[in-house]
């Protein structure tokens, strides 16, 4: 792994720069495809008032915009910390091949970034989660899904 450690060092540097620059928490990330960094990000939650602006999500958006695609298959992600559940889901949606991480989620919890509740909640049945979830107007919404299935110019993802 020593040949790719420079990518992780870049992610760690982005985490430091973002933190020191007041952009958000101490998290950084790069996305690499074919030996080149195609996406960069650091945590920007507090500076953008966007709870989804985690380093991995920012880097995925950067890579997708730069490559003009929503499919990052063939690319790897280097993140300064084990991804939270939201970021992990985004990584799967983006189809990244490999996840390299430095700090663990336990390390993050020790400095106040504890995602354990979310990890536990995701595995629970809807009726057992701490956030109330109520179905509403499915009969109306299902029609849009049916239209999607017959839409001839839909882009599958």
Which residues are part of the catalytic machinery? 56
DSSP annotation of 21 reads: T
- Gyration radius of the chain's alpha carbons: 18
d(CA 77, CA 85): 15
d(CA 41, CA 115): 20
First to last CA, the chain: 31
Residues 95, 73 contacting (CB under 8 angstroms): yes
Angle CA 84–88–91, to nearest 5: 140
Instruction: Quote the strand ranges of 17-144, DSSP E.
Output: 28-33, 36-42, 75-81, 98-103
d(CA 144, CA 71): 24
């Amino acid at each position: 792994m020593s040949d790719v450690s420079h990518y992780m060092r870049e992610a760690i540097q982005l985490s430091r720069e973002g933190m020191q620059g007041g952009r958000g928490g101490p998290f950084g990330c790069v996305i690499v495809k074919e030996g080149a960094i195609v996406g960069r990000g650091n945590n920007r939650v507090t500076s953008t008032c966007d709870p989804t602006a985690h380093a991995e999500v920012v880097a995925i958006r950067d890579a997708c915009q730069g490559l003009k695609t929503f499919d990052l298959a063939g690319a790897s992600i280097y993140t300064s910390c084990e991804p939270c559940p939201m970021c992990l889901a985004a990584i799967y949606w983006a189809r990244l091949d490999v996840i390299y991480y430095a700090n663990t989620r336990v390390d993050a919890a020790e400095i106040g970034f504890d995602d354990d509740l979310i990890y536990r909640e995701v595995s629970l049945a809807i009726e057992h989660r701490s956030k109330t979830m109520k179905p509403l107007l499915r009969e109306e919404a299902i029609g849009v899904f049916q239209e999607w299935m017959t839409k001839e110019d839909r882009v599958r993802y």
